[in-house]
Structure 1
Amino acid sequence: MLTEYTYVFAIGTFFALLEAYNNGANDVANAWATSVSSRSVTYQQAMVLCLIFELTGALTVGARTASTIKNGIIPIAAFNGNAGVQLLAFTCASAGAAIWVMWCTRNSAHVSSTYSLVSSIAGVGVAAVGASKVEWGWNGGSGLGAIFAGLCMAPIASGIFGSVIFSLIKFVVHVRRDPVPWAVWTSPFFFLIAGTICTLSVVYKGSPRLGLSDKPAWYIASVTLGVGFGLFVLSAFFFVPFVHAKVIKKDYTLKLWDFFQGPLLLKRVAPADAEFAQVPNYAVVQHSGDIKRPGAKAEAAMSDADTKEITVVDVDTSSEERPAPLHENPREAYRLLLAQAREQHHEELRQKKGPLGWAMRTLHNNQLGAGSIYELHNLKATLVRIPAQIVVGALYGMSYDIHRAQVGVLGTPEGRRMDRVYSHAPKYSNEVEYLYSFVQIITACTASFAHGANDVGNAVGVWAAMYSAWSTGETVGSKAPVPLWQIAVIALTICFGFITYGYNIMRVMGNKITYHSPSRGSSMEMGAAITILIFSQYKLPVSTSMCITGATVGVGLCNGTFKAVNWQRVGLLFFSWVMTIPIAGLIGGILMGITLNAPGY
């Protein structure tokens, strides 16, 4: 054991976990933003589902891309058997990726944590062993050439898969004269696709722990298709009768646990007034929500009965204290909208019971006063605020309303641009979209499984290499297994990042690329999941963010015009992905160069 490097391993562990935390706050948040923006699930429901399926994907498939991260970019032989240098290299790589992604997440900038880590490893490799020894080429699908090829390949593949799936929905369901029955009876096909893809990712080149790594082709095909068609049959017996009663009969008395009645629900008699029941209006464009501006009167508020619908607030323009028009000072007006929306949300939280309400009231009542931090009144306030800040940091995200936080749309240049984009997207039947809100839960869980299968392997690769070098005193071997407990720790850290800080990315991503709805969102998530799992099979780390963005663009183009996509937002995202490569690489390389060449005693 390299006891003299224990402090390096401790620092490396910290940055590896921080990188995983930022992965959850950035990449996972972007993946779930599709479902939350489509209003198929709430942010709170997404937290629970994310925890379950991220862990499932990580523990069954997740270590597959770890070998590429550990060995594919910097060859083991380049370290000449010096485990200390290898430990330091992966510590600096984790630090470089974590610093860059953390800064971007804090500023609500969307980047790829996967490419941040890969680029940081490349920069570290240049500083540690020289540019000539870094695998810049294909390297059997494990080098930087293969990984960076995914920068274009993954979004394009996701866009193709997503557009094909949505085109099938569009022409099989949406364009029908009576689309609701078609939507109900075809919904089991999503279970078939999801079950087949997820099972194939586990069985094909499967985990050695499950004894699946060397199974014959007939076994792989039979197990994969058996599970897929098994879910198809189960969904036909249980899911179809449930949504039939919920959507076609509009039985508003139906509870979730009635799902287990199966075919008996087909004979269930709906209440006499069920025909007058209304489903959520998924065509509502989410602008600024119920924001109380100075001089504004809330003419409408969020409905308690239907929290999925956003109401628009009328502004009392006769008031002398009305805010300045946005065109006079758009930047200040935009910041004012953000501040007002945030303060209104905080005011509502302060009125709640429980730990979060107490913490928000404590912070509000103990604000720092005039003078420096060392002033006595500020020191007292700081001591009182510390416990409350810890509680807020842990619980704030669990009560966040993503829709009401998507302000800055109405009346701004971006808002006008989004209105133009939305106008080119047909608004389909609310009953059909309501049904696909149930389907999207399945596709979102599949996407989360895929993320756990891919990104957890990326994050755990460097930590596994550090742990192996520290615990054995030798450079990690190319075939060294990744301990299951390390995969579980990284997966939990990713989920914790999404739960506590994912809202910071989701509130700015939302549906700013194209118009979202449950049927569109289902196609986006399934297209991205298929792409991620395919790349994971061949040990190619890809960005979940890039895949969901590519699928979103592909589905947006299915509206029949390029104008249905916000190309400015897509361009900004692509620019951030490209700039991640040199910036993360420079941060990792500089850290490695400084620490490796620092004077010693």
Structure 2
Amino acid sequence: MSDSALYKDLKRISQIEDATHRLGAFKTAVGLGGLFLIGVLLFTLTLSGEGDRYWFVVLAGVIGGYMALNIGANDVANNVGPAVGSRALPMVGALVIAAVCEAAGAILAGGDVVSTISKGIVDPGRVPDADTFILAMMSSLLAAALWINLATFIGAPVSTTHAVVGGVMGAGLIAAGPDAVAWGTMQAIVASWVISPLLGGLVAGLFLTFIRAAIIRQPDRMAASRRWIPPLIGMLAASFTAYLIFKGLSHVWRPPLAVILVLGAAAGVATHMAMRPVVARASARLENRRKAVSSLFTLPLIFSAALLSFAHGANDVANAVGPLAAIVHAAQDGDIAAKVTLPLWVLVVGALGIAFGLCLFGPKLIRTVGEKITKLDQTRAFCVALSAAVTVLVASAFGLPVSSTHIAVGGVFGVGFLREYWSNAKLRARPDAEAAPLPAIAPPGVAADGTAVPAPPTHHKRRKAQKRRLVRRRHLQTIVAAWLITVPLSAVLAAGIFLGLRTLIAAS
């Protein structure tokens, strides 16, 4: 047996072993996730209640736990994916930081009151009775969870809020009719499909362009780093401070916009002053290389991953468990309210479910966002994180409908396509690109067996083949398609589940 054949056989064996290991890890994760849902079931059985609606609460609690698992597996990847892909954080460290911060954000700042209908999609006053309302909310929650589970399986990061909105709309259409749906709000959500990724990509690209011109392309990169990196980190701190107050802490504290801006500016100035000596000391030990510049963004990336996770836990999780809180209120009080008190156990189920889902199933989407779309280093990942904070803050202040998931992923695509443009522009500008002599192109001939021999490729085809692609189009197509079908597919699923549950209950 030749060495090459032996090498191929060993490679096949290695691939089989890797596949077996991944399958075993997946089965273990599914088993642990199942144990979590069994724990939620046992806990909800201990809640006081009686009658048919009591069993609705038990079933809804399990569905809410399943939804939380899927949020952790999918939605949180956007917060830590760039940090992991740039090697600023190892996977285990990212999982621990994100799990702790997500749970802390949900429990500490998740709020006491939540809207029963996410984003005001359906008028609860048009729902006929509490039982119909419970079935509609249960259907919307299960539909959203099923779609997010499928999206995670195919490797597409999607918006949890959009999935819940689609589920509520689909179930609401069947339960209360088309007049109960706020179609203007739905139009704004559809607009966010375009606005969010474009804004995220544009802002991330602008920051990367500035860093490239002001630091990386300078003769003395370390001197430029000492000048510009502290204010950039200060801008990140200012944006995150304002973002946390405006979005993450909005359930427990909602100060005026002027106060938010002042607090954000103060945090930015303080961080800028604190980072100046830190960057100066670190840069003094580094070589004048691009990789050394990237290493200076490592610590800010770690903090940004933690703060994004906390804000996500505080803001988006409450929207996701809103249907569960609505079911609990309707089952216990027998009425339908626009806003309800969010029970602590609902927040705890959401927080723990996100933490378990992230640790058990999250690495797949984290690798997709951080590694598989395009290659990220700390500089590019920093631009994505800064873009996410700045874009969400500014868009929310102006009332623009945006999705934090779409913004973060759009930022990754933005820096990838910008690098691709620069790389191909550099290839086109090479002196030998046009000056290189072309070999003579022979006309098509005939081989000895009588078949035609095609002419060699033209110069244009050779030049086209040289074009570099630094963004994987396959992931772009999958993610965009998943974004476009999230709301309609969740709506169709929720409508089907609602009709099935209503028929099943009527038959019994």
Query: What TM-score comes out, normalization by structure 2 length?
Result: 0.73
Within a 5 Å distance, the mapping from 1:582-593 to structure 2 comes to 582-593=488-499
Please give the alpha-carbon distance, in whole angstroms, between the structure 2 residues aligned to 1:21 and 1:173. 42
Partner of 1:575: 481
Q: How many residues align?
A: 413
Within a 5 Å distance, the mapping from 1:528-547 to structure 2 comes to 528-534=388-394, 543-547=403-407
Conserved? CA contact 1:126–1:589, under 8 Å: yes
Conserved? CA contact 1:65–1:540, under 8 Å: no
Please give the alpha-carbon distance, in whole angstroms, between the structure 1 residues aligned to 2:310 and 2:60. 27
Partner of 2:225: 183
Conserved? CA contact 2:372–2:472, under 8 Å: yes
2:359 to 499, 511, 517: 499
1:135 matched to 2:177? The reply is: no
2:313 to 452, 456, 477: 452
Which structure would you say has the larger RCO, counting Cα contacts within 8 Å and 6 or more residues apart? Answer: 1
1:224 matched to 2:272? The reply is: no
1:32 matched to 2:80? The reply is: yes
Please give the alpha-carbon distance, in whole angstroms, between the structure 1 residues aligned to 2:399 and 2:61. 23
Determine helix, strand or coil for the equivalent of 2:309.
helix
Please give the alpha-carbon distance, in whole angstroms, between the structure 1 residues aligned to 2:416 and 2:297. 17
**1:112 Cα deviation after fit:** 3.4
Partner of 1:156: 198
1:91 matched to 2:133? The reply is: no
1:172 matched to 2:33? The reply is: no
The structure-2 alpha-carbon separation of the partners of 1:145 and 1:157, relative to structure 1 and needing over 3 Å to count, comes to: same
Determine helix, strand or coil for the equivalent of 1:480.
strand
RMSD of equivalent CA atoms: 3.1
Per-residue CA distance 1:443-486 (angstroms, 9 max, x = gap): 3234323433442132122122122212322112x243434654
Per-residue CA distance 1:315-335 (angstroms, 9 max, x = gap): xxxxxxxxxxxxxxxxxxxxx
Please give the alpha-carbon distance, in whole angstroms, between the structure 2 residues aligned to 1:508 and 1:220. 34
The structure-2 alpha-carbon separation of the partners of 1:112 and 1:216, relative to structure 1 and needing over 3 Å to count, comes to: closer
Determine helix, strand or coil for the equivalent of 1:597.
helix
The structure-2 alpha-carbon separation of the partners of 1:90 and 1:553, relative to structure 1 and needing over 3 Å to count, comes to: same
Gaps of 5+ in 2: 1-48, 425-468
Per-residue CA distance 1:130-153 (angstroms, 9 max, x = gap): 22322222xxxxx22222221111
Partner of 1:433: 294
Please give the alpha-carbon distance, in whole angstroms, between the structure 2 residues aligned to 1:65 and 1:567. 42
Conserved? CA contact 1:63–1:460, under 8 Å: no
Determine helix, strand or coil for the equivalent of 2:118.
helix
Please give the alpha-carbon distance, in whole angstroms, between the structure 2 residues aligned to 1:518 and 1:496. 27
Within a 5 Å distance, the mapping from 1:475-554 to structure 2 comes to 475-476=336-337, 478-483=338-343, 486-534=346-394, 543-554=403-414
Gaps of 5+ in 1: 138-142, 251-274, 280-427
Please give the alpha-carbon distance, in whole angstroms, between the structure 2 residues aligned to 1:61 and 1:464. 16
Partner of 1:121: 168
The structure-2 alpha-carbon separation of the partners of 1:131 and 1:174, relative to structure 1 and needing over 3 Å to count, comes to: same
1:462 to 323, 326, 329: 323
| Structure with the higher helix share, 1 or 2 | 2
**1:520 Cα deviation after fit:** 0.3
Conserved? CA contact 1:40–1:440, under 8 Å: yes
Partner of 2:70: 22
Within a 5 Å distance, the mapping from 1:7-406 to structure 2 comes to 7-58=55-106, 62=110, 66-67=114-115, 69-70=117-118, 72-80=120-128, 82-137=129-184, 143-204=185-246, 210=252, 212-213=253-254, 215-216=255-256, 218-237=258-277, 239-240=278-279, 244-245=281-282, 247-249=283-285
User: Which stretch of the first structure deviates more once superposed, 457-466 or 54-63?
Assistant: 54-63
Letter in 1 for 2:385: E
Please give the alpha-carbon distance, in whole angstroms, between the structure 2 residues aligned to 1:111 and 1:513. 15
Q: Sequence identity of aligned pairs in percent?
A: 28
Please give the alpha-carbon distance, in whole angstroms, between the structure 2 residues aligned to 1:585 and 1:32. 29
Partner of 1:594: 500
Within a 5 Å distance, the mapping from 1:553-572 to structure 2 comes to 553-559=413-419, 560-561=421-422, 563-572=469-478
The structure-2 alpha-carbon separation of the partners of 1:576 and 1:70, relative to structure 1 and needing over 3 Å to count, comes to: closer
User: Which stretch of the first structure deviates more once superposed, 96-105 or 191-200?
Assistant: 191-200
**1:539 Cα deviation after fit:** 8.5
Please give the alpha-carbon distance, in whole angstroms, between the structure 1 residues aligned to 2:183 and 2:496. 19
Please give the alpha-carbon distance, in whole angstroms, between the structure 2 residues aligned to 1:448 and 1:206. 10
Please give the alpha-carbon distance, in whole angstroms, between the structure 1 residues aligned to 2:384 and 2:268. 20
**1:11 Cα deviation after fit:** 1.3
**1:523 Cα deviation after fit:** 0.5
Letter in 1 for 2:195: M
The structure-2 alpha-carbon separation of the partners of 1:7 and 1:447, relative to structure 1 and needing over 3 Å to count, comes to: same
Conserved? CA contact 1:63–1:456, under 8 Å: no
Conserved? CA contact 1:114–1:542, under 8 Å: no
The structure-2 alpha-carbon separation of the partners of 1:507 and 1:553, relative to structure 1 and needing over 3 Å to count, comes to: closer
Partner of 1:357: none
The structure-2 alpha-carbon separation of the partners of 1:163 and 1:63, relative to structure 1 and needing over 3 Å to count, comes to: farther
Per-residue CA distance 1:312-361 (angstroms, 9 max, x = gap): xxxxxxxxxxxxxxxxxxxxxxxxxxxxxxxxxxxxxxxxxxxxxxxxxx
Determine helix, strand or coil for the equivalent of 2:225.
helix
The structure-2 alpha-carbon separation of the partners of 1:196 and 1:486, relative to structure 1 and needing over 3 Å to count, comes to: farther
Please give the alpha-carbon distance, in whole angstroms, between the structure 2 residues aligned to 1:121 and 1:45. 36
The structure-2 alpha-carbon separation of the partners of 1:90 and 1:542, relative to structure 1 and needing over 3 Å to count, comes to: farther
Conserved? CA contact 1:513–1:570, under 8 Å: yes
Please give the alpha-carbon distance, in whole angstroms, between the structure 1 residues aligned to 2:251 and 2:483. 35
Conserved? CA contact 1:2–1:470, under 8 Å: no
Conserved? CA contact 1:451–1:532, under 8 Å: no
Partner of 1:416: none
**1:433 Cα deviation after fit:** 1.7
Letter in 2 for 1:451: H
